Amino acid sequence: MRINKKRLKTSMLEIGNIGKDSTGGITRLAFSHEYKVAAWRLSQLMEDAGLEVKQDPLATIYGRRDGEDNTLPAIMFGSHLDTVKNGGLYDGLLGIMSGLEVINTLNDLGITTKNPLELVAFNAEEGSAMGGTFASRVIAGLISPDKSFLQDHLPDYNLRPEDLLASRRNLNEIKAFLELHIEQGRVLEGENIPIGIVTGIAGITRYQVEIIGEANHSGTTPMGLRKDALVTAAKLILEVENIARELGEPFVATIGTLEIKPGAVSIIPGEVELIIEIRDLDQTKIDVAGGQITDYLNQISKDIQIERIVNKTPVKTAPDIVNIIEKACKKLGISGRKIISGAGHDAKEIARKVPTGMIFVPSIAGKSHCPEEKTSWEDIYLGTEVLLETILSI
């Protein structure tokens, strides 16, 4: 193995434990004090590795290593430095610290790549008032700074619209983008395979639904005279489950938020608000499901409003890079299998403009976004070796 296991583990634990509390959870929210401390220390480690380090107005960090020909587009790799509240060590951070270890290994071996290399640590992947994958969407030019919701929230983070424009990158200067990430699922662990080769990242569509009934006394209103908004919502929930099962894997649908008004034990629910989230690698199936849900709502009640509030279309990773990752696994004698990602990633946004590949390593028990999030160090080392070989091959 070419990488330095001890160095990778030490650096990952040092940065990863910034924001850790007594329960073991890690909270390093975008733009927070903990994020800024981690960004400062990461920048030091990147400079120690000989990288030219820059930070943009969104607090995304770049470290550049010269190639034999610096007029060529760079190979970019990395992930996000922020976490969810009370999250785990590995989500996002793995892609950054494995990338730093790749740089250090190349230094150890005295290898200069033909193309320049660029390690990136994105900010605000996990979501803020501006939505998830914020920095990577800005960098890719996918967010217009004149949107009204941004105007409302940017000042909360001491940001201005011009900061977004200044953070955009000319992605013609990037040859390829790679992200090593934990799977956040149980497929690889279940099959005892250490490497997942991501072929696509699912699209995410969300609908906000408002169901209007009639609030009334729960003890004096006969069952036959009720307009119970929650009963209507229950029918919808079951129908969404049926639609998802009929469309088949990898399609998934979830109703994870439900607000009942007025929300008292002795009052029949007069209003219910909920959000339906659907994900798939095929936008056509997502659109079909949305149509079926809307049709069903129109059948069961006229007192329902539905609005699509999120529509992030799926992306395919670059077939050429998928093949390179496959060959890297075979060359290193490491088992790998093709897999899709049901979660969103910075790679999804960059892939809209740049040939992109993703490498997954197993998540123990599929745990993520929680203190119990865990991946074995041995799988981390194997994933980093595959990342290194892929970068050299590209």
Cα 20 versus chain centre, distance = 21
- What is the phi/psi pair of residue 23, to 5°? -85, -10
Helix, strand, or coil (residue 90): coil
Provide the pairing of β-strand 52-55 with 61-65: antiparallel
Amino acid identity, residue 3?
A: I
33 marked ligand binding residue: no
Distance, CA of 293 to CA of 200 (rounded, Å) = 25
| Bridge partners (DSSP) listed for residue 119 | 63, 77
Distance, CA of 296 to CA of 123 (rounded, Å) = 40
369 marked ligand binding residue: yes
Provide the pairing of β-strand 74-80 with 174-182: parallel
Instruction: Kindly give the residue spans of alpha helices, DSSP state H, lying in 271-356.
Output: 283-300, 319-332, 346-350
Q: Quick one: angle between helices 93-109 and 5-16, nearest 10? A: 140
91 marked ligand binding residue: yes
Pair 201, 344: CB distance under 8 Å: yes
80 marked ligand binding residue: yes
- What is the phi/psi pair of residue 318, to 5°? -70, 120
Pair 249, 185: CB distance under 8 Å: no
| Bridge partners (DSSP) listed for residue 206 | 277, 310
Please calculate the CA angle 346-56-73 and round it to the nearest 5 degrees: 65
> 7: left (phi > 0), else alpha (psi -120 to 50), else beta?
alpha
Provide the pairing of β-strand 203-212 with 336-341: unpaired
- What is the phi/psi pair of residue 189, to 5°? -60, -40
Binding residues for Zn(2+), by number, are 80, 91, 126, 181, 369
Q: List the binding residues.
A: 80, 91, 126, 181, 369
